[in-house]
């Protein structure tokens, strides 16, 4: 058979194979799998995530395994065939064929096979790819013979770090928070951890922001004793200020109580509104106390000082009263553990208890 017919045949076969894969993937039944994936329940409806370090099997159906594996393997084989094809001399003739392109009168493009070093670079990448896909997860739900997972590697690294640094934290954990809060070495570690784990919400200077309390002043929602701070970190906190608009009889009542709240921290407000608001403040007193100084057992803020969790403006105060607020401090017990939380608590304590 003429070699050029053979070559054309090969190209046609490869093309048909490619088209067949595309059509196979888009058949009605296959497309159904796409649709099924699109209709997956949203995040909040999903059952809780399975424990970490499981095998990689989170594909919604077997279909995806094949959808990934078959084109990947065919791709590697296809590349191999292509390199092989590009490496053989065409027609076995002594004379190298020219492609028929000529520049500057003498510069001809020849149909030489690839140079060896180049060919071997292709072969090495192909071998690398094949070995990689056998050892590591890459082909759908096949987890690779090494059983490597990124979560597994992460857990291992955490374990190594815990072994290395654990004793340092354990040494500090044995000391009182008040004592550590005067130890510059401990505070440097505490600050670094604070910046890593807490600054996204509380600010890198712990100064807080709207909805996120400042941890550097001496005004506390839940208390500023070493134990209270540590409890906040370990167990988290949930603020529960109910919407009071209805109980106050709508906008007028809200405006009156808001004026009274503003007057508590010494700000000017309409005396008539303040007087009316003072009478209605009784329904707030159960949490904020009759004098408005708050209750740390409930996390009800002191309304008589200059520190505001959500903002000092009359508009913000009205909004808080009308709609309520529910600030959440996440629990860090499982994530950081007791010893690290102890050290961070000492850093927080040091901010408002300078020696
Ligand atoms: C059930 C207890 C409870 C009642 C009743 C209550 N509060 Fe609160 N209030 C809270 C808590 C807890 C917070 C803090 C919310 C948070 O941490 O997200 C708060 C926050 C606030 C704030 C925001 C303070 C700041 O620093 O930004 C204002 C203002 C306020 N309350 C006013 C009132 C007024 C006025 C009433 C009565 C009409 C009232 N509260 C009734 C528990 C209560
Ligand atoms: C996702 C945001 C977020 C992260 C991360 C976070 N916090 Fe908080 N934290 C809050 C919120 C919101 C509150 C207030 C809760 C409330 O309104 O009742 C709070 C409250 C606190 C309190 C109580 C303050 C008081 O006045 O009594 C302390 C202490 C605290 N956080 C420390 C930390 C530390 C230390 C870290 C890092 C380990 C941290 N937080 C990480 C959001 C966060």
pLDDT of the residue at 92 = 59
In DSSP terms, 318 is beta-bridged to none
Write down the number of H helices and E strands in the chain: 14, 4
Residues with CB under 6 A from ligand 1: 221, 239-242, 244, 248, 257, 261, 283-284, 286-288, 298-301, 303, 308-310, 317, 320-321, 325-327
Predicted pLDDT of residue 343? 96
CB of 299 closer than 6 angstroms to any ligand 2 atom = yes
The DSSP element (H or E) to which 101 belongs, if any, is: strand 98-103
Q: Atom 9 in ligand 1: which residue has the minimum CA distance? A: 241
* Helix, coil or strand: residue 112: coil
Would you state the pLDDT for residue 124? 96
Map tokens 């070995």 to a residue: 131
Nearest CA to ligand 2 atom 43: 329
pLDDT value at position 49?
A: 61
- The domains of the chain, with CATH numbers, are 55-90+108-147 (no CATH), 152-239+331-352 (1.10.760.10), 251-326 (1.10.760.10)
Q: What is the pLDDT of residue 290?
A: 96
pLDDT for 59 equals: 66
The whole-model pTM stands at: 0.72
- Tell me if residue 209 falls in helix, strand or coil: strand
The helix or strand, by DSSP H or E, that contains position 309, with its residue range, turns out to be: none
Cα–Cα separations (whole angstroms), residue 148 to 56, 87, 135, 328: 9, 36, 8, 36
Whole-number Å distance between alpha carbons of 259 and 262: 5
CA distance 351 to 158: 29
Position in ligand 2 atom list of the atom nearest CA 327: 17
pLDDT averaged over consecutive 10-residue blocks of the chain (355 residues)?
75 90 77 67 57 57 89 95 83 71 88 87 95 93 91 94 93 95 95 97 96 95 96 97 94 96 93 95 96 96 95 94 96 94 97 85
CA distance 24 to 38: 19
DSSP 198-213: THHHH-TTS--BTTB-
Ligand closest in space to the Cα of 228? 2
Among all chains, which residue has been given the structure tokens 């492609």?
99
């Amino acid at each position: 058979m003429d070699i050029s017919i053979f070559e054309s045949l090969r190209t046609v076969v490869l093309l048909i194979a490619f088209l067949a894969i595309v059509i196979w993937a888009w058949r009605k039944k296959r497309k159904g799998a796409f649709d099924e994936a699109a209709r997956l329940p949203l995040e909040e409806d999903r059952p809780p995530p399975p424990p970490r370090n499981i095998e990689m099997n989170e594909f919604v159906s077997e279909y995806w395994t094949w959808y990934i594996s078959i084109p990947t393997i065919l791709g590697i084989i296809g590349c191999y065939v292509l390199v092989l094809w590009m490496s053989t001399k065409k027609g076995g003739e002594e004379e190298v064929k020219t492609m028929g392109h000529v520049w500057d009168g003498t510069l001809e493009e020849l149909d030489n096979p690839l140079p060896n070093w180049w060919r071997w670079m292709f072969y090495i990448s192909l071998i690398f790819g094949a070995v990689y896909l056998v050892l590591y997860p890459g082909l759908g739900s096949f987890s690779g013979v090494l059983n490597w997972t990124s979560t597994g590697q992460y857990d291992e690294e955490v374990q190594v770090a815990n072994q290395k640094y654990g004793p340092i934290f354990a040494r500090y954990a044995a000391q009182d928070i008040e004592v550590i809060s005067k130890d510059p070495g401990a505070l440097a570690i505490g600050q670094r951890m604070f910046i890593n784990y807490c600054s996204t919400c509380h600010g890198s200077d712990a100064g807080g922001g709207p909805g996120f309390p400042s941890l550097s002043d001496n005004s506390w929602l839940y208390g500023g004793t070493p134990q209270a701070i540590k409890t906040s970190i370990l167990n988290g906190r949930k603020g529960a200020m109910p919407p009071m608009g209805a109980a106050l009889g709508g906008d007028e009542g809200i405006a009156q109580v808001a004026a009274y709240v503003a007057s508590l921290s010494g700000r000017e407000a309409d005396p008539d509104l303040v007087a009316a608001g003072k009478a209605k403040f009784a329904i707030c007193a159960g949490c904020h106390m009759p004098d408005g100084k708050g209750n740390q057992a409930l996390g009800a803020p002191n309304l008589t000082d200059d520190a505001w969790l959500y903002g000092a403006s009359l508009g913000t105060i009205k909004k808080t009263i009308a709609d309520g607020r529910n600030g959440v401090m996440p629990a860090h017990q499982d994530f950081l553990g007791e010893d690290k939380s102890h050290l961070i608590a000492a850093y927080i304590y040091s901010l408002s208890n300078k020696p």
